[in-house]
Structure 1
Amino acid sequence: MKVEIRRLEGKEKEKGEKIVEEAKKQQVTFLVVGEEKKPPVWRLVKRWGWKKRCSQAGVLKYCLEKASCMTIAVKPKNRKLGGYLITTKRHKNFWLLA
């Protein structure tokens, strides 16, 4: 099995499209999309500063809906309990304690 890890940086609106396009181009069979947890201060600044924005959750949802391959979205649950929320096309917010 060949595994490649890539990090995409850029404008929020274009991320989902770029990820799906690159997955098709590379003929990916299994796509795992993650979310970087930001500190609470960053979330407050983002909420107050930008009225119209595409959230990271929007990118994950776009990839889940539009990618032609099997796609899993992974988000950290919280700092106290730990674990991750895993979402696929069929299952939403399945909690994995790891």
Structure 2
Amino acid sequence: MEGGTAPTRKVMVVVDPTRESAAALQWALYHAVLERDELILLHLENPTSWRSRSTFSFFKRYSQPPTSAASSTSSSEGGGGGGDLDFLEQMKRACEVAQPKVRVHIERVDMEGKDKAAIILAQSMVLSVDLLIIGQRRSLSAAILGSRRNGGSAKGSRTLDTAEYLIEHSKCTCIAVQKKGQNAGFLLNSKTHKNFWMLA
């Protein structure tokens, strides 16, 4: 197509300092995000939740000293240290190194006791997101119970985990990502593909 450029998409990845979140972002950077896309890192702030900083070791490979480009784009994200800022800025920097032509920004939302899935769903609609990506941890029992979903229980996310609920109710395409071992690839779930295996 001469002179035609692909339309810009908004890709949102739900991020927190967990292996599942790191895997989702890793998959997004290398398999989903295109050159002119806008990448939104959505972080739900919950003061009573995790405080771990050691679970996102994937990003240490990419946390080179910030270049002038990376530091200028990061400065808009506000100051004040702390674990949340550390991991969010580290994730953002990793995105800028892996995909230098993609615009990356962080969205923080206070959970305030609200339902996680409902907040993510609302943010994806407010920001007109085209693709929503979330890390998923599934035990064997969750996988078995998840296969029993019927269309009748649209009441909430009690019977489905957050990722499954988003897949079912999101207006945009939602992909749940699980990383299987160091080099074993990814297991993907969406409305149209269940347990789709992709090599790293």
Q: How does the TM-score come out when normalised to structure 2?
A: 0.35
Structure 2 residue matching 1:3: 3-state secondary structure:
strand
Residues 25, 34 of structure 1: alpha-carbon distance in 2 compared, 3 angstrom cutoff: same
Could you tell which deviates more after superposition, 62-71 or 3-12? 3-12
Structure 2 residue matching 1:7: 3-state secondary structure:
strand
Tell me the residue number matched to 1:67. Answer: 170
In structure 1, C-alpha distance between the alignment counterparts of 2:191 and 2:115, rounded to whole Å: 21
Tell me the residue number matched to 2:192. Answer: 90
Equivalent position amino acid for 1:87 in 2: N
Q: CA deviation at 1:81?
A: 5.6
Structural RMSD (CA): 2.8
Query: Which sections of structure 2, spanning at least 5 residues, go unmatched?
Result: 1-36, 47-110, 139-157
Residues 80, 27 of structure 1: alpha-carbon distance in 2 compared, 3 angstrom cutoff: closer
Query: Which sections of structure 1, spanning at least 5 residues, go unmatched?
Result: 38-53
Residues 61, 14 of structure 1: alpha-carbon distance in 2 compared, 3 angstrom cutoff: same
Larger radius of gyration: 2
Q: CA deviation at 1:9?
A: 4.4
* Count of matched residue pairs: 80
In structure 2, C-alpha distance between the alignment counterparts of 1:85 and 1:13, rounded to whole Å: 29
Equivalent position amino acid for 1:23 in 2: S
Q: How does the TM-score come out when normalised to structure 1?
A: 0.67
In structure 2, C-alpha distance between the alignment counterparts of 1:59 and 1:13, rounded to whole Å: 13
Tell me the residue number matched to 2:42. Answer: 6
Deviations 1:15-35 (A, max 9, x none): 111111110111111111113
Structure 2 residue matching 1:74: 3-state secondary structure:
strand
Tell me the residue number matched to 1:51. Answer: none
